[in-house]
């Protein structure tokens, strides 16, 4: 039982397949609609508004498929206050109709070009006809928030007398405030009342919750908040707000929320905003070091609901806001165990990438960790300084100052290009440590753009032993030097150890 909402049972009327499909450009095939309807019924919604039966043959086929699928949810269809629409709904096999009647003077006079009396008469006649055709009737006031509330109340009252089973209040253009909902909804609850909100001003969720508090017993919702213009009240937001903030058990299988959202997004072709509550990519993704550190200790510090409760997983991404806790966690997950000094250097390089305005991927982190950790382990060769000069009408030239086995070495070389010159001077300068051959050189941009992070992989050979090494930097020459020096160090260390083992 909910503390704030009392011991009441709320119902969920999903209109993803009707109002959601009215999102411009969205068009679902009957088979797509059936797939979504099955998922909606499975997650636990009470009513599925499957479409507008009068709209097209495809709509009627979809409604027929859904009505015949033996789903637990009621199969409903939108109808105008017209017998032809009701006939289409009945012939398609719907259980119920969402019978919509314009109720604001604006809609009555301008859109319908009728009087209140004429619209009232159409509504009563349509309700009676739908009942004659054996349909459950949800009598709905369109643009109810801008309507004369006495006229609306009269229409509802007379509609119930004509046989309407349920009522619906449509905030058609999203102008109802939560405060006003609490004033105008209570006198309208003369039969089970649904609230149907639009999100033009971002108030759909708040107004829906206020209407629940004020006496409405059902919420019209759409998955991912799809719908006309800025959409309808998002299903996932209502459910998780009720469950989390009001302690109300909705009966919805919340772990299936994310799979349902992705199914709808895929079939409608409408991606959700990355920061969309509950289902957006960023809803359970964290970069800030302080947040990640807090989350590792207790996830409630920075997550009001757990990702698992909606079928998702937490993601920690790295960037310039990262701290050592999140970098260490990412490295552990990737199989690295850096020492504190290495970790500090990796964090520094991760932040440097972030400072360049880029997202840091796992590949970036691995490349950085490989470079930092291998360099740290094998200090036989180190580069103190190098310079490369290249351009038009100039021979690419590289010069270097290195330390090899504790001795300073300087050198210069030319090459076919700046990378070639840099690698040649490295090979020459380490000659005192042995003849190290560069067998392969491979470069790849691992982030996009001209300022991409480049990943250089090299294969080096000495005394019959071959190793592969990598360097990752935004500067291709630095990445190449890093890959070669890292590899040389590893190769020399391994051969050294082998020699010592053989002697022992």
Ligand X SMILES: CC(=O)SCCNC(=O)CCNC(=O)[C@H](O)C(C)(C)COP(=O)(O)OP(=O)(O)OC[C@H]1O[C@@H](n2cnc3c(N)ncnc32)[C@H](O)[C@@H]1OP(=O)(O)O
Nearest approach, Cβ of residue 102 and ligand X (Å): 6
172 or 478: whose CB is closer to ligand CC(=O)C(=O)O?
Answer: 172
Nearest approach, Cβ of residue 167 and ligand X (Å): 15
146 or 314: whose CB is closer to ligand CC(=O)C(=O)O?
Answer: 146
Helix and strand numbers, DSSP H then E, in the chain: 16, 16
Both tokens of 148, joined, read 């004369």
Rule CB under 6 A: say whether 211 interacts with ligand CC(=O)C(=O)O: no
Rule CB under 6 A: say whether 52 interacts with ligand X: yes
**Contact set for ligand X, span 223-252 (CB under 6 A):** 228
DSSP 47-94: EEEEEETTT-HHHHHHHHHHHTTT-SSEEEEEEESSHHHHHHHHHTT-
Count of CB atoms situated within 10 Å of the CB of 373 = 20
Among 142, 243, 370, 482, the residue binding ligand CC(=O)C(=O)O under the rule CB under 6 A is 142
Residue with tokens 């990438």: 353
The binder of 455, among ligand X, ligand CC(=O)C(=O)O, none, by C-beta within 5 to 8 A per type, is: none
135 or 481: whose CB is closer to ligand X?
Answer: 135
Contact string (CB under 6 A) for ligand CC(=O)C(=O)O, positions 401-420, x = contact: --------------------
H-assigned helices in 401-460 = 418-429
Rule CB under 6 A: say whether 152 interacts with ligand X: no
53 or 252: whose CB is closer to ligand X?
Answer: 53
Q: Which of 208, 130, 224, 199 is nearest to 169 (CA)?
A: 208
- Distance (Å, rounded) from C-alpha 91 to C-alpha 185? 34
Helix 324-333 × helix 289-297 angle, to 10°: 60
Q: 73-99 burial, b if ≥16 CB within 10 A, otherwise e?
A: bbbbbbbbbebebbbbbbebbbbbbbb
The binder of 196, among ligand CC(=O)C(=O)O, ligand X, none, by C-beta within 5 to 8 A per type, is: ligand CC(=O)C(=O)O
Rule CB under 6 A: say whether 194 interacts with ligand X: no
The binder of 101, among ligand X, ligand CC(=O)C(=O)O, none, by C-beta within 5 to 8 A per type, is: ligand X
Among 21, 74, 138, 142, the residue binding ligand X under the rule CB under 6 A is 142
DSSP 26-60: ----HHHHHHHHHHHHHHT-SEEEEEETTT-HHHH
The binder of 102, among ligand X, ligand CC(=O)C(=O)O, none, by C-beta within 5 to 8 A per type, is: ligand X
Q: Which of 291, 290, 271, 292 is nearest to 281 (CA)?
A: 271
Residue with tokens 């449509």: 170
**Contact set for ligand X, span 4-23 (CB under 6 A):** 19, 22
For residue 2, give the 3-state DSSP assignment. strand
Helix 362-377 × helix 340-355 angle, to 10°: 140
The binder of 81, among ligand X, ligand CC(=O)C(=O)O, none, by C-beta within 5 to 8 A per type, is: ligand X
For residue 315, give the 3-state DSSP assignment. strand
Among 101, 188, 218, 400, the residue binding ligand X under the rule CB under 6 A is 101
Rule CB under 6 A: say whether 141 interacts with ligand X: no
449 and 440 in contact (C-beta within 8 Å)? no
Where do contacts with ligand CC(=O)C(=O)O occur on this chain (CB under 6 A)? 19, 100, 140, 142, 170, 172, 196, 198
Where do contacts with ligand X occur on this chain (CB under 6 A)? 19, 22, 52, 54-55, 78, 80-82, 100-102, 111-112, 142, 172, 228
């Amino acid at each position: 039982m909910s503390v704030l909402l009392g011991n009441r049972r709320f119902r969920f009327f999903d209109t993803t397949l009707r109002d959601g499909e009215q999102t411009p450009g969205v068009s679902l095939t009957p088979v797509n609609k059936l797939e979504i309807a099955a998922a909606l019924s499975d997650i636990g919604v009470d009513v599925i508004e499957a479409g507008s039966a009068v709209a097209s043959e495809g709509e009627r086929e979809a409604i027929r498929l859904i009505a015949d699928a033996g789903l637990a949810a009621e199969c409903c269809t939108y109808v105008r206050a017209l017998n032809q629409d009701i006939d289409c709904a009945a012939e398609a096999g719907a259980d119920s109709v969402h019978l919509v009647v314009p109720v604001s003077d604006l809609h009555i006079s301008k859109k319908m070009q009728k009087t209140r009396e004429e619209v009232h008469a159409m509504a009563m006649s349509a309700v009676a006809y739908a009942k004659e055709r054996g349909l459950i009737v949800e009598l709905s006031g369109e643009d109810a928030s801008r309507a004369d509330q006495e006229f609306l109340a009269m229409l509802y009252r007379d509609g119930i007398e004509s046989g309407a089973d349920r009522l619906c209040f449509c905030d058609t253009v999203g102008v109802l405030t939560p405060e006003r909902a609490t004033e105008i909804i209570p006198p309208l609850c003369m039969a089970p009342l649904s609230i149907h909100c639009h999100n033009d001003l971002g108030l759909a969720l708040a107004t829906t919750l206020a209407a629940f508090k004020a006496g409405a017993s059902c919420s019209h919702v759409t998955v991912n908040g799809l719908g006309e213009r800025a959409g309808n009240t998002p299903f996932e937001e209502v459910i998780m707000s009720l469950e989390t903030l009001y302690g109300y058990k909705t009966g919805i299988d919340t772990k299936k929320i994310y799979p349902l959202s992705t199914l709808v997004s895929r079939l409608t072709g409408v991606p959700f905003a990355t920061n969309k509550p509950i289902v957006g990519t960023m809803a359970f993704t964290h970069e800030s070091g302080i947040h990640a550190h807090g989350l590792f200790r207790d996830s409630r510090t920075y997550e009001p609901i757990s990702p698992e409760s909606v079928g998702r997983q937490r993601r920690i991404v790295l960037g310039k806001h990262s701290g050592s806790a999140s970098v260490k966690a990412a490295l552990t997950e990737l199989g690295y165990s850096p020492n504190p000094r290495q970790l500090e250097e990796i964090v520094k390089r991760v932040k440097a990438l972030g400072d360049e305005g880029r997202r840091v991927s796992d590949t970036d982190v691995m490349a950085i960790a490989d470079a930092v950790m291998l360099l740290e382990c094998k200090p036989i060769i180190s580069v103190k300084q190098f310079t490369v000069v290249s351009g038009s009408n100039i021979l690419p030239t590289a010069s270097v100052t290195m330390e090899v086995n504790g001795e300073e070495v300087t050198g210069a070389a030319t090459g076919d290009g700046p990378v070639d010159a840099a690698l040649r001077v490295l090979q020459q300068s380490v000659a005192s440590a042995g003849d190290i051959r560069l067998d392969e050189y491979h470069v790849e941009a691992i982030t996009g753009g001209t300022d991409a992070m480049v990943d250089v992989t090299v294969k080096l050979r000495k005394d019959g032993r071959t190793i592969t090494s990598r360097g990752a930097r935004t500067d291709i020459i630095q990445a190449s030097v890093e890959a070669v020096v890292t590899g040389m160090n590893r190769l020399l260390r391994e051969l050294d150890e082998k020699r010592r083992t053989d002697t022992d």
